């Protein structure tokens, strides 16, 4: 029985680990060996985390029923408001 | 030829030929992950061969490429164990992998203590990569021993290859290594006669022919 192991790699000491990809392996010994070969042999990593996919809790439900887009960084667009303000002031840019 | 060059060539030939045999699994290993891992090991072995040929070439006034590809089949000093062709038999391949890597560990450890600084330094570098080859071999041995069918395949292959494996090491290193293998696999393997280097496996000529065909296609070319 093989399972999926997610691999995170650290590029330099002190940096955050980032998701690198995954390997398919029957146990942790194989997962470590395969991760080492695929994500570590070219000097691209100083450390790896190898995690069984089953151990990861995924959250993917973020309801926004009331459209409160001002909670989001992209929710408050200045572009349209600025254009309207310029038109009102008669200073619209060419 | 100096004793030093002779010993370096034995090592280099073992690594080149085994690297070649292991690379025969590229594209057809039992899983994609294993394909990547085993191909990487094969490439490492050929890299070790290159470094060893370079040391020998300096002694012999030649080049690594000429040593690797321009000798006649009978001049190679590889142990017959590494010349055997096993594709598509993964059980035999893992048995050889385990037997070779553990024997090579003993040989490299001895070379790391050499009074020859170049040899000792190269042995230390090679050993740092071989650590992963050994981990890979050990995990496969664990996996095969864990199932009845895997166990039979591994033990049968080990028994068959045992006389060849005995041919890797010199007499002084052989007993300790052989005992280690017996304990690890839990099988009774008699020491018996070694199929030593100097002889060549039947599979060797075809491999040499393929391995050198491009160099021979344009003799003397600068590539």
Contact B143 A25 (CB under 8 A): no
Q: How far is B191 from chain A (nearest CA, A)?
A: 32
Residue A72: predicted pLDDT: 74
Sequential pLDDT tens for chain A (94 residues):
789 999 999 999 999 999 999 999 999 999 999 999 999 988 899 999 999 999 999 999 988 788 777 777 776 778 888 888 999 998 766 5
Of A23, A29, A34, the CB nearest to B142: A29
Domains of chain B in start order, with CATH, are 3-217 (1.20.1260.10)
Mean pLDDT over B181-204 rounds to: 93
Q: Dig out the tokens for B206 from the structure.
A: 């075809």
Q: How far is A12 from chain B (nearest CA, A)?
A: 21
Of A25, A27, A29, the CB nearest to B33: A25
Phi-psi region for residue B91, left (φ > 0), alpha (ψ -120 to 50) or beta? alpha
Residue B70: predicted pLDDT: 96
Closest chain A residue to the Cα of B138, Cα to Cα:
A29
Assigned CATH topology for domain A3-55: Ubiquitin-like (UB roll) (3.10.20)
Q: How far apart are CA B62 and CA B58, in angstroms?
A: 7
Which helix (H) or strand (E) segment holds residue A4: the answer is strand A3-10
Contact B31 A29 (CB under 8 A): no
Which sequence spans correspond to the domains of chain A? 3-55
DSSP string, B173-190: THHHHHHHHHHHHT----
pLDDT digits (tens, 9 = 90+) for B21-30: 999 999 999 9
* Angle, in degrees to the nearest 10, between helices B32-60 and A28-39: 60
Mean pLDDT over B179-191 rounds to: 93
A52 three-class SS: strand
């Amino acid at each position: 029985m093989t399972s999926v192991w997610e691999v995170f790699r650290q590029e330099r000491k002190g940096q955050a680990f980032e998701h690198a990809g995954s390997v398919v392996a029957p146990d942790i010994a194989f997962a470590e060996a395969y991760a080492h070969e695929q994500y570590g042999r070219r000097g691209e990593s100083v450390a790896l985390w190898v995690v069984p996919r089953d151990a990861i809790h995924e959250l993917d439900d973020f309801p926004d029923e009331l459209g409160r887009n001002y909670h989001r960084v992209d929710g408050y667009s200045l572009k349209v408001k600025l254009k309207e303000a310029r038109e009102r002031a008669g200073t619209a840019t060419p | 030829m100096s004793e030093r060059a002779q010993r370096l060539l034995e090592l280099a030939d073992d690594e080149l030929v085994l690297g070649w045999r292991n690379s025969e699994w590229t594209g057809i290993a039992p899983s994609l992950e294993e394909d990547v891992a085993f191909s990487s090991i094969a490439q490492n072995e050929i890299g070790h061969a290159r470094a060893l040929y370079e040391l020998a070439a300096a002694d012999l006034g030649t080049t690594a490429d000429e040593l690797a590809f321009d000798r006649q089949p009978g001049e190679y000093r590889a142990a017959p164990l590494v010349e055997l062709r096993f594709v598509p038999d993964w059980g035999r391949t893992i048995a050889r992998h385990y037997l070779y890597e553990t024997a090579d560990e003993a040989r490299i450890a001895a070379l790391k203590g050499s009074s020859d600084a170049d040899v000792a330094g190269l042995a230390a570098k090679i050993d740092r990569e071989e650590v992963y080859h050994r981990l890979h071999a050990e995990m496969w041995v664990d996996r095969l021993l864990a199932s009845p069918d895997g166990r039979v395949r591994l033990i049968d292959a080990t028994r068959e290859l045992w006389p060849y494996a005995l041919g890797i090491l010199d007499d002084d290193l052989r007993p300790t290594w052989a005992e280690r293998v017996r304990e690890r696999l839990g099988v009774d393997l008699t020491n018996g006669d070694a199929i030593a280097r100097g002889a060549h496996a039947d599979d060797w000529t075809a491999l040499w022919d393929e391995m050198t065909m491009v160099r021979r296609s344009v003799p003397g070319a600068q590539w």
